[in-house]
Amino acid sequence: MLKEIRAYYQEVVETTISSKNDVFVFKKRFFSKQGVLNSLFSRFKKISKEEKKLVGKDINLLKDLCQKKINSFSLSLVSNKNTVEDLTRPSPTFTGSKHPITKISGQINEIFKSLGFYVSSGPEIEDDWHNFEALNLPKNHPARDMQDTFFVNVNPDFLLRTHTSSVQVRHMSGNKPPIRTISPGRVFRNEAVSSRAHCIFHQIEGLYVDKNVSFTDMKNLLFVFAKKFFGNDVSLRFRPSYFPFTEPSAEMDVFLGTQTEADYRLTKGSGWLEILGCGMVDPNVLSNCNINPKTYSGYAFGMGVERIAMLKYGVKDLRLFFENDLSFLKQFN
Ligand code: PHE
């Protein structure tokens, strides 16, 4: 069979298709019911396993070649102005470019992937359990005010996720440690839109759960990340903080300085800008996700992509990322 396939391959290579009639004849010979490919595939079903291994790839190569032969004729029709254009054809050149938020997100993801993390994702419309309750935020808990929420009208139990920690709850509930994942995605908060805040933004949250995971491990990881992203001479600091789902909790700041008025305003006069929240996963959260907190511990962190993009590119107003003004976007090409 192998010899036969190679002979057909040669035949296709030598065939020239220069008219619609040629296409018709070619399709009939190779793609029709009684055609070459069909008969090869039905014979393929009957041969032994060992032979299949040898032959399978070659049949598919032959099929691809036949398809390419037809495609390249269609393309030549398009470039010949006297013939009708195929308007459904995908553009041969791609003139768009990536949005700065997509770029920064990609760079952050790549750094964490190089440190052994894999990407997980989840729904943007969440239920109360995954967004709040499992994370130690029972109904009426005052800390829910930290993340003003958009509820889905038809059912108050559903909401637009306020952070991608919800993905971590889903991931922990469905997987056994060791877990080492990042969850990038869009999140929504019912906040007044200003130069520092928006009702939609992007987050990347990370989670590591295993035996004997320590706060020091987390701090090292986040320092390595920040140095890779901002450069070796970046100044960083860790501050104690509070999140209901981590204990102890901290925030990491990057030093911007106060030389310009914009930096002064952005850092509220201190020179430091907060870029992420983090902490050791609260044992209650692990139990809520069916992970035994006596055996396992973990850390989690979360950062806002817009905030980091503002820092990296020196953009002083977060709203610019959402306006799709081409003169703004072109600067990042
Ligand atoms: N989920 C927090 C937020 O959106 C960030 C965070 C994640 C903090 C993990 C600590 C640990 O603000």
pLDDT 10s digit of each residue in the chain, 333 long? 888 888 998 999 888 888 888 888 999 999 999 999 999 989 988 888 888 888 888 888 899 999 988 888 877 776 665 556 677 777 767 677 889 999 999 999 999 999 999 999 999 999 999 999 999 999 888 888 888 899 987 777 899 999 999 999 999 999 999 999 999 999 999 989 988 889 999 999 999 999 999 999 999 999 999 999 999 999 999 999 999 999 999 999 999 888 888 788 778 899 998 999 999 999 999 999 999 999 999 999 999 999 999 988 988 889 999 999 999 999 988
For 72, other C-beta atoms within 10 Å of its C-beta total 11
* Per-residue tokens: 310: 């503002």
Which pLDDT score, from 0 to 100, does residue 118 have?
A: 97
User: What's residue 109's pLDDT?
Assistant: 97
- Give the pLDDT score at 217: 97
CA distances from 90 to 75, 95, 146 (A): 10, 12, 46
What residues does ligand 1 touch, defined as CB less than 6 Å away? 163, 165, 205, 243, 246, 249, 277-279, 300-302
Nearest CA to ligand 1 atom 2: 302
Bridge partners, 206 (sequence order): 182, 301
- Least Cα distance to 311 among 221, 213, 218, 196 occurs for 196
Residue having the nearest C-alpha atom to atom 4 of ligand 1: 163
Longest distance between any two alpha carbons in the chain, whole Å: 79
**Cα separation of 141 and 215, whole Å?**
26
Question: Which CATH homologous superfamily contains domain 100-332?
Answer: Bira Bifunctional Protein; Domain 2 (3.30.930.10)
Identify the residue whose C-alpha is closest to ligand 1 atom 9.
301
Atom of ligand 1 nearest to the CA of 277: 8
Residue 146 CA: nearest ligand 1 atom is 12
Give the closest residue to 301 by CA, choosing from 198, 221, 189. Answer: 221
Q: How far, in Å, CA of 314 to CA of 331, rounded?
A: 12
- Quote the tokens at residue 279: 């902490």
Asked if 157 and 127 touch (Cβ cutoff 8 Å), the reply is yes
For ligand 1, the distance from its centroid to the CA atom of residue 37, given in whole angstroms, is 56
- Which residues touch 176 (CB under 8 Å, ≥6 apart)? 291
Determine the residue of 149, 219, 245, 307 to mutate for testing ligand 1's pocket, defined as the one with the most ligand atoms within 8 A of the Cβ atom: 245
Q: How many angstroms separate the alpha carbon of residue 22 from the centre of ligand 1?
A: 63
Contacts of 88 (CB under 8 A, 6+ apart): none
Find the helix or strand (DSSP H, E) in which 41 lies.
helix 36-46
Distance CA 91, CA 282 (A): 51
Question: Which residue lies with its CA nearest to atom 6 of ligand 1?
Answer: 302
Residue with the smallest CA separation from ligand 1 atom 10 is: 278
Contact between 204 and 305 under an 8 Å Cβ cutoff? The reply is: yes
Contacts 24+ apart (CB under 8 A), 136-144: 136/244, 136/245, 136/282, 136/284, 136/285, 136/288, 137/244, 137/245, 141/244, 143/242, 143/244
pTM for this model (two decimals): 0.72
Q: Say how far apart CA 176 and CA 291 lie, in whole Å.
A: 8
CA–centroid distance, 243 to ligand 1, in Å, is: 7
Residues in the chain: 333
